[in-house]
């Protein structure tokens, strides 16, 4: 007897576990809901991925795509292996062949953990259809996430939250966890608008300068040294302080952007968060219970609203738009949806308002 999958009114519609005897590849695709269009969601390549985890991620994509008002449903996939220990291309090609029946009518893949434009190119090539994936290289007509669409969306959501709270961007201090693709672009756009980013962290620690961090110098340091912690402040010796990574969440800033790992704000540090606004650039940076507690004294912009720039970019690629058209579309949708959610937010708990909008849109499509 097959494992019983727990379902509800929204899905999942299909759960497909696949195996390939020749390569040893084991993967899974979960198509959660296709009422609004084909299921859209990334393909991750990690050794500990589970069907249950992929089901949760697919449901999150249902809500994210609905809230972004895209003609996509929710889906997700995973390949269970360490990409450093197997033939990555062979696994991607085997996975593509096994799930071909779902693509692109029910599932459209995209980059996720340990998959990039290169893997999306391979998957589309194996399927024989460029519409099989998004996040492809420019050479295959793609709009790679390296353009910064997610960070741009986080920036836009932050600006709307500042406006909602009546805070002037020019007098705003910001702390950003994570200095990868999302964190770097979030900082770039915020500093261009006059905000002062005073703290940034990576896996080695936090660099903090209350006078403000220089974006170009920080990028140069990260590129040359491989870490932001080697940053030397142009404000003089002793201005920039090296702190533990966890200290970033306790700093006296206006805006906190958790943008890397899950559950970084928890029962042990939630009472020490001093920010007036928390913008969730990462997925699930805190549990719903912790988020609700923090919302009593800070405005928390939920992940599936703030970080939707990437999936909006995917939609633009799917529609054959240019880079310029993509950025304009991200702007229009993030701004409109953030305004809508904040207008319906009671207290600081924006997730409740965001979820009710997403569920209403999916239910209407299901009818």
List the domain boundaries for the chain: 14-63+72-142, 149-363
Q: Where are the beta strands (DSSP E) in the chain?
A: 14-20, 25-33, 39-40, 43-46, 73-80, 107-108, 173-177, 196-202, 205-208, 241-243, 255-258, 277-279, 299-301
pLDDT, tens digit only, all 367 positions of the chain: 456 788 999 999 999 999 999 999 999 999 999 999 999 999 999 999 999 999 999 999 999 999 999 999 999 999 999 999 999 999 999 999 999 999 999 999 999 989 999 999 999 999 999 999 999 999 999 998 778 999 999 999 999 999 999 999 999 999 999 999 999 999 999 999 999 999 999 999 999 999 999 999 999 999 999 999 999 998 887 789 999 999 999 999 999 999 999 899 999 999 999 999 999 999 899 999 999 999 999 999 999 999 999 999 999 999 999 999 999 999 999 999 999 999 999 877 999 999 999 999 999 999 9
* Unique residue bearing structure tokens 């672009």: 185
What's the pLDDT at 348? 72
Q: Which CATH superfamily is domain 149-363 in?
A: NAD(P)-binding Rossmann-like Domain (3.40.50.720)
Contact 285, 307 (CB under 8 A): no
Q: Of 40, 64, 76, 222, which is the active-site residue?
A: 76
Contact 143, 181 (CB under 8 A): no
pTM over 0.75: yes
Fold agreement (14-63+72-142, 149-363): yes
17, 53, 55: which is closest to 39 by C-alpha?
55
76 catalytic per annotation: yes
Tokens of 5: 């999958």
Provide the 3-class DSSP secondary structure of residue 279. strand
Fold adopted by 14-63+72-142: Rossmann fold (3.40.50)
């Amino acid at each position: 007897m097959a494992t019983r999958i727990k379902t509800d009114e929204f899905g999942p519609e299909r759960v497909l576990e696949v195996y390939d005897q020749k390569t040893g590849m084991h993967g899974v695709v979960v198509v959660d809901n296709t009422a609004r269009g084909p299921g859209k969601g990334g393909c991750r390549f990690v050794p500990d991925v589970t069907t249950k985890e992929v089901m949760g991620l697919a449901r999150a994509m249902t809500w994210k795509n609905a809230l972004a008002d895209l003609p996509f449903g929710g889906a997700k996939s995973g390949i269970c292996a360490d990409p450093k220990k197997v033939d990555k291309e062979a696994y991607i090609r085997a996975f593509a062949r096994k799930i071909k029946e779902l693509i692109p009518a029910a599932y459209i893949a995209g980059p996720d953990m340990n998959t990039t434009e290169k893997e999306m190119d391979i998957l589309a090539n194996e399927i024989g259809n460029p519409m099989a994936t998004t996040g492809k290289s420019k050479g295959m007509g793609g709009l790679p996430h390296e353009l910064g669409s997610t960070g741009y969306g986080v920036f836009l959501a932050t600006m709307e939250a500042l406006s909602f709270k009546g805070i002037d961007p020019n007098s705003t201090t910001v702390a950003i966890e994570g200095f990868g693709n999302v964190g770097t672009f979030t900082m770039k756009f915020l500093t261009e608008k006059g905000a002062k980013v005073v703290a940034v962290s990576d896996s080695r620690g936090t660099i903090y300068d209350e006078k403000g961090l220089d974006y170009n110098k920080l990028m140069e340091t990260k590129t040359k040294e491989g870490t932001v912690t080697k940053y030397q402040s142009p404000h003089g010796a002793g201005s920039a302080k090296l702190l533990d990574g966890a200290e970033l969440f306790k700093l006296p800033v206006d805006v906190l952007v958790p943008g890397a790992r899950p559950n970084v704000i928890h029962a042990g540090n939630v009472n020490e968060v001093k920010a007036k606004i928390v913008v969730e650039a990462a997925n699930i940076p805190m549990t719903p219970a912790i988020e609700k507690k923090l919302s009593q004294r800070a405005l928390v912009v939920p992940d599936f609203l703030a970080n939707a720039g990437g999936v909006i970019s995917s939609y633009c690629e799917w529609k054959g738009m240019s880079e310029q058209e993509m950025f304009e579309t991200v702007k229009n949708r993030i701004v409109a949806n953030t305004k809508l959610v904040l207008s319906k937010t009671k207290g600081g708990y924006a997730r409740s308002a965001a979820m009710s909008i997403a569920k209403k849109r999916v239910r209407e499509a299901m009818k």
